[in-house]
């Protein structure tokens, strides 16, 4: 069956490209894990799947053989003249030197033509080098293909290095785990462990699967997941994740998730998939290359033929040589590989620091972000509330009302509900709740023994016409108002603490010239207090979800870009509206990872300016490569067409520029942000 090319919605060809070839070779040579959902290639694709796990030396071996034969031939031609090194012997020698590096490219050119992709990089190099042989420029023909092959190997190694940041995460899950069966330790393959198995984890060991801590406490190094080596102490019943390292005594963990469904697997899959979401610059270069390459071939033909009509002493060999030089220079390798590599490096650098981009397009957007709009609770504050004070009317039993409030708040996952539960204690199972309803932006409502119980903010009291005799704005802390049987009972004050790196975050954002806005459903006095403490420009409290949407719309109406930072679930409308939705605490929520465009795994707001810096550096490197490639190629193309550039200059303009661009692209992986 004839091969049909596959294209994405933006017109990017998904198969039979140089980038695909290098990515496939990279995955084979590095033993890419099947966890990564890469597209499978049928035999009809005719890519070379024969060799796997090649060492760097094996990759360079054909080029080394070709290089040695070429050096010897050049020596015989110019320095150690041999009488026998003439005629067909000389031609055969150069052909043998050409085959190790030339045959794979000729094969790729043939396969591309067979599949309908005529104007490929492989065809350009094939025409140029075969043409050089046709006009007896044997050394240059071999040299061009040799340096092209070396360039491709360096491209493969560079992509391999870029992927290493992500693939190293795979090493954080051990192949084997120790489980307890009837209190007897038994070592099994991690992939075969079942849900509810009990893992025994020794000090210094990595956890192989997600689970629930059964021991009273344990401290873990979470660097594999968050990029932070700061120990994280977990208590009995808390979730622990694959890749975490036990730091102290032996602990026990009950498996809650299958090996293939672990949080780490999903993170790896997400980052791998991110490379498929191309930035506008990448898409432009792809489309440009599809038009650019056939135009260059046509121009090369014209350079060879048209002078025949105007030049008196026209020599076909000379003008063919100029056309071949022109073809070598025009090869777009530097652009089609170094640009995706730059974005891949950016995604890898971010993931190494616990920041997960959903696509290289978001690197571009973050680089030009003008406004960061943030939620308060869990973003700039710890989100760990504690009850400070309980002020109830003496007409009500404080103990009884708190038990009712505790029972109702057990229906919510909000941090406030957790604070109340920790303050009150065990839930009274004899309390029967009916008609439980969560009123968005207000609180909870239920019926108990035929009486209505309301727990929420003072807007909830107003909504149900409950009269109260206090001024909520006079109290800085978050207030939880309670009404029972249509009467105002009183309130609880709840306090949250500002995150230790919140101030650094705001300072860095201001240094970058980015405007900051805080939007929260929390009490306005609390929001203003936090905003003033941190120096946030604009802050608005007492907001409903639709109010947040309207505030963001106001910013967008000014034609300014917006990144919204929140939990990614409750704030879904705002996340969808903003240019980039950033979720804090991706480790805690599968839904968050699915919803957000960018996930900060360790809850640290200081990763927001870091993500912006990574985006800026990535974009800077990509444009440096584009400008370098175009300037050098333009200069040498003009010189080549005028007969002032030889194949050697052409090799530099092609492979040399590609290597310089690649070296520039991999710089981002060494940068500190």
In 3D space, the residue among 441, 385, 444, 446 whose CA is nearest the CA of residue 418 turns out to be 385
Q: Where are the alpha helices (DSSP H) in 227-279?
A: 263-274
What tokens appear for 373 in the block?
């709009």
Round to whole Å and give the CA distance between 262 and 455: 36
Helix (H, G, I), strand (E, B) or coil at 279: coil
In 3D space, the residue among 379, 273, 416 whose CA is nearest the CA of residue 592 turns out to be 379
Q: How far is CA 229 from the centre of its chain?
A: 21
Residues, the chain: 673
H or E stretch at 503: helix 502-511
Helix (H, G, I), strand (E, B) or coil at 51: coil
Residue of 29, 364, 375, 522 marked catalytic: 375
The answer to whether 375 is a known catalytic residue is: yes
Round to whole Å and give the CA distance between 95 and 93: 5
What is the number of alpha carbons within 13 Å of residue 166 lying toward its C-beta? 30
Q: Which residue has the tokens 């009850």?
A: 387
In 10 A of CB 9, how many CB atoms?
5
Round to whole Å and give the CA distance between 565 and 578: 10
H or E stretch at 484: strand 478-484
Using the CB atoms, write b or e for 362-371: b if 16+ within 10 Å. bbbbbbebbb
In 3D space, the residue among 120, 123, 111, 104 whose CA is nearest the CA of residue 3 turns out to be 111
Kindly list the catalytic residues.
375
């Amino acid at each position: 069956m004839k091969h049909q090319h596959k294209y994405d919605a933006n017109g990017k060809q998904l198969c039979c490209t140089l980038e695909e070839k290098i990515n496939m070779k990279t995955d084979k040579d590095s033993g890419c894990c099947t966890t990564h959902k890469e597209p499978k290639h049928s035999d009809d694709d005719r890519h070379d799947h024969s060799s796997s796990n090649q060492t760097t030396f094996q990759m360079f071996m054909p080029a080394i053989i070709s290089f040695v034969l070429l050096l010897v031939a050049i020596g015989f031609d110019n320095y150690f003249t041999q009488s026998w090194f003439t005629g067909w012997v000389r031609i055969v020698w150069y052909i043998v030197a050409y085959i190790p590096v030339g045959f794979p490219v000729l094969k790729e050119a043939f396969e591309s033509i067979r599949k309908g992709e005529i104007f490929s990089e492989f065809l350009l190099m094939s025409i140029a080098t075969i043409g050089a042989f046709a006009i007896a420029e044997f050394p240059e023909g071999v040299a061009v293909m040799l340096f092209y092959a070396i360039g491709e190997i360096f491209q493969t190694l560079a992509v391999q290095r870029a992927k290493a940041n992500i693939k190293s995460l795979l090493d954080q899950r051990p192949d084997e785990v120790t489980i307890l069966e009837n209190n007897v330790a038994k070592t099994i393959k991690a992939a075969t462990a079942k849900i509810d198995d009990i893992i025994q984890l020794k000090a210094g060991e990595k956890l192989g699967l997600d689970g629930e801590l059964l021991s009273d406490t344990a401290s873990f190094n979470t660097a594999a997941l968050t990029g932070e080596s700061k120990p994280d102490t977990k208590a009995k019943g808390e979730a622990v994740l694959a890749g975490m390292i036990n730091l102290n005594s032996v602990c026990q963990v009950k498996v809650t998730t299958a090996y293939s469904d672990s949080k780490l697997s999903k993170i790896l899959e997400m980052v791998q998939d991110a490379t498929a979401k191309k930035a506008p610059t990448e898409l432009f270069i792809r489309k440009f290359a599809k038009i650019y390459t056939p135009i260059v071939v046509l121009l090369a033909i014209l350079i060879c033929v048209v002078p025949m009509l105007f030049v008196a002493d026209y020599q076909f060999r000379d003008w063919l040589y100029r056309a071949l030089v022109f073809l070598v220079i025009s090869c777009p390798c530097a652009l089609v590989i170094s640009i995706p590599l730059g974005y891949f490096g950016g995604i890898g650098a971010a993931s190494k620091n616990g920041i997960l981009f959903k696509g290289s397009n978001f690197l571009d957007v973050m680089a030009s972000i003008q406004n960061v709009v943030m939620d308060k609770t869990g973003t700039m504050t710890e989100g760990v509330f504690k009850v400070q004070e309980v002020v109830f009317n003496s007409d009500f039993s404080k103990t009884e009302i708190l038990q009712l409030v505790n029972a109702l708040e057990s229906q919510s996952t909000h941090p406030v509900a957790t604070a109340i539960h920790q303050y009150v204690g065990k839930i009274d199972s004899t309390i029967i709740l009916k008609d439980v309803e969560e009123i968005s932006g207000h609180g909870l409502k239920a019926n108990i023994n035929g009486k209505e119980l309301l727990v929420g903010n003072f807007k909830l009291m107003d909504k149900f016409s409950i009269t109260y005799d206090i001024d909520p704005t006079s109290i800085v802390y978050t207030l939880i108002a309670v009404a029972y049987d249509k009467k105002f009972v009183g309130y609880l004050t709840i306090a949250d603490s500002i995150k230790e790196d919140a101030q650094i975050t705001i300072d860095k954002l201001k240094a970058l010239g980015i405007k900051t806005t805080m939007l929260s459903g929390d009490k306005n006095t609390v929001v203003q207090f936090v905003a003033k403490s941190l120096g946030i420009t604009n802050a608005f409290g007492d907001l409903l979800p639709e109010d947040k949407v309207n505030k963001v719309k106001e910013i967008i109406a000014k034609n300014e870009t917006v990144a919204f930072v929140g939990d990614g679930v409750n704030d879904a409308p705002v996340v969808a509206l903003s240019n980039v939705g950033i979720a804090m605490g991706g480790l805690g929520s599968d839904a968050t990872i699915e919803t957000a465009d960018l996930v900060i795994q360790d809850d640290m707001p200081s990763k927001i300016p870091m993500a912006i810096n990574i985006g800026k550096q990535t974009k800077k490197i990509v444009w440096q490569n584009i400008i370098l490639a175009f300037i050098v190629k333009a200069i040498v193309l003009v010189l080549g067409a005028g007969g002032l550039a030889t194949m050697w200059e052409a090799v530099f303009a092609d492979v040399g520029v590609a290597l310089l661009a690649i070296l520039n692209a991999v710089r981002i992986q060494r940068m500190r942000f």
